[in-house]
Amino acid sequence: MARPIWNGAINFGLVTVPVELYGATEDHTISFRQFERGTADRIRYKRVNERTGKEVAYSDIVKGAEIGGGDYVIIEPEELDAIAPGRSRTIDISTFVDLDDIDPIHYQKTYWLAPAKEEYGRAYSLLLQAMRKSNRAGVATFVMRGKEYLTVVRAGEELLILTTMLFAEDLRDPAKELKSMPEIAPARGKELDMAISLIESMSEEWKPDDYHDTYTQRVEQLIEDKKEGREVVTEEAPSEPTKVVDLFEALSKSVESRKKRREESPEPETDLASLSKAELDKLARDLDVKGRSKMNRDELETAVKAATAAVKRAS
């Protein structure tokens, strides 16, 4: 059972609800060690005093803020702790907003909020249901691990969800970061209509379970293939950029391709049970079955049957 990574209380108005914070996400990225090419020698990093060349212990390291001219102000860890903002361990909701009003560029990391004890469940449930019914989210600040966070608290299916956000001053000005801002040229009527048709033909209900980290899967396969001495299969190169003169034609072909893929289905006499996993995977790809890369053979067969039935119902 996971342990809370933070505990405190939610404050909204004069209501205080003690809560615990739990991580809602995890990173599946494969970690690599570093080696010198051609050897089995590990590469390690050390904290070295640049003047003496000697390694320095963590306990002897302090922070320094540059003030110009090569001079620094040295800050001790205790001094940072002493001035940490909002030391009261509370999530103070200052206002409620419509979630649609928040630009997703501000979002960082998501956590679950649970009542600290069963006795606080009534107040917790009231806040969750009131936020869900009003379709509002609470904007709040709180401190975790010596840092103040701007957050949005919203109602999930069964829990309150807290998402940390970037402050406005954390967002860079694209006009200052890009070599030049793109010139938004007026779209031509037929091209715009065709682009909208393509978007509509590719539109589906959002199903997060249909999406997986396929790159990590490929890395895992690469590791396994090299371990077993098998030939490494490379992927196709990225597509070439579409030329402006070919834009309308590319859009038209894309729309037709999408229509064809939706219309196509296995012939009635096709016995799916007799097909191999590779053959089922091809059918699933033609039918645009989401999540097929994670399916085993039986799951692919079921998914192809369901997709085929859906195409028939739509036609």
Q: What is the pLDDT of residue 40?
A: 92
Tens digit of each residue's pLDDT (9 = 90 or more) over 82-112 = 776 555 578 888 899 998 899 999 999 999 9
Burial of residue 288, with CB atoms counted within 10 A of its CB: 0-12 exposed, 13-18 middle, 19 or more buried: middle
Q: What is the pLDDT of residue 242?
A: 60
What Å distances lie between residue 104 and 51, 73, 165, 228, CA to CA? 45, 37, 9, 43
Classify strands 90-98 and 6-12 as parallel, antiparallel or unpaired: parallel
Q: Report which of residues 152 and 288 the model is more confident about.
A: 152
Helical (H) or strand (E) element with 138: strand 136-144
| Cβ 91 vs Cβ 20: under 8 Å | no
Tens digit of each residue's pLDDT (9 = 90 or more) over 192-214 = 888 888 888 777 787 877 777 77
Q: What is the pLDDT of residue 232?
A: 74
**Would you say residue 13 has pLDDT above 80?**
yes
Q: What is the pLDDT of residue 268?
A: 46
Any idea which of 145-149, 222-226, 243-247 has the lowest mean pLDDT? 243-247
Residue 89: both structure tokens together:
């361990």
% of the chain residues with pLDDT over 90: 23
Residue 267: both structure tokens together:
């012939």
What mean pLDDT is predicted for residues 21-45?
89
Cα–Cα distance for residue pair 18/12, rounded to 1 Å: 12
Tens digit of each residue's pLDDT (9 = 90 or more) over 58-89 = 889 999 989 888 899 998 877 776 776 555 57
Q: What is the pLDDT of residue 314?
A: 67
The average confidence (pLDDT) of the chain is 83
What mean pLDDT is predicted for residues 40-55?
93
- Residue in 166, 162, 165 with CA at minimum distance from that of residue 112: 162
**Would you say residue 264 has pLDDT above 90?**
no
Q: What is the pLDDT of residue 53?
A: 92
Cα–Cα distance for residue pair 77/65, rounded to 1 Å: 13
Q: Report which of residues 266 and 215 the model is more confident about.
A: 215
Tens digit of each residue's pLDDT (9 = 90 or more) over 183-195 = 888 877 788 888 8
| Dihedral sign from CA coordinates of 179, 184, 185, 190 | positive
Cα–Cα distance for residue pair 44/33, rounded to 1 Å: 9
**Would you say residue 55 has pLDDT above 90?**
yes
